[in-house]
Structure 1
Amino acid sequence: MLSWALTFLVIALIAAALGFGGLAGAATGIAKILFFVFIVLFVIGLIAGGIRRPAA
């Protein structure tokens, strides 16, 4: 998931450098959404992992 966010970020940077404003804006929006989805899933995974392991 994080690799997809980074891929869209790179696409946005290249599109912005070449002057494609609409494409750069769309790719940036997708990258932001994917990044926040990744963060939410990561936090859920941390919480689920902490709940599953019993304290010794």
Structure 2
Amino acid sequence: MLRWSITFIIIAIVAGILGFSGIAGTATGIAKILFFIFIVLFIISLLRGKKAI
């Protein structure tokens, strides 16, 4: 998921450089959403992995 976030941020940067502001804004929004989903899932996996048995 982090890889997809990085891919969309690169697309946003390239689109911004080329002047496609609509595509750049959309790609940035998607990258932000994917990044926050990644962070939430990462924290959940850390908390679930530290169970004391």
Provide TM-score, normalisation by structure 2: 0.96
Separation in structure 2 between the aligned mates of residue 43 and residue 7 of structure 1, nearest angstrom? 22
The equivalent of 1:19 in structure 2 is 19
For structure 1, the residue ranges without an aligned partner over 5 or more in a row are: none
Provide TM-score, normalisation by structure 1: 0.91
Separation in structure 2 between the aligned mates of residue 24 and residue 5 of structure 1, nearest angstrom? 13
Larger Rg: 1
Cα offsets for 1:26-47 (capped at 9, x unmatched)? 0000000000000000000000
For structure 2, the residue ranges without an aligned partner over 5 or more in a row are: none
How many aligned residue pairs are there?
53
Secondary structure of the equivalent of 2:28? helix
Q: Give me the identity figure in percent.
A: 60
* Runs of 4+ residues deviating >4 angstroms: none
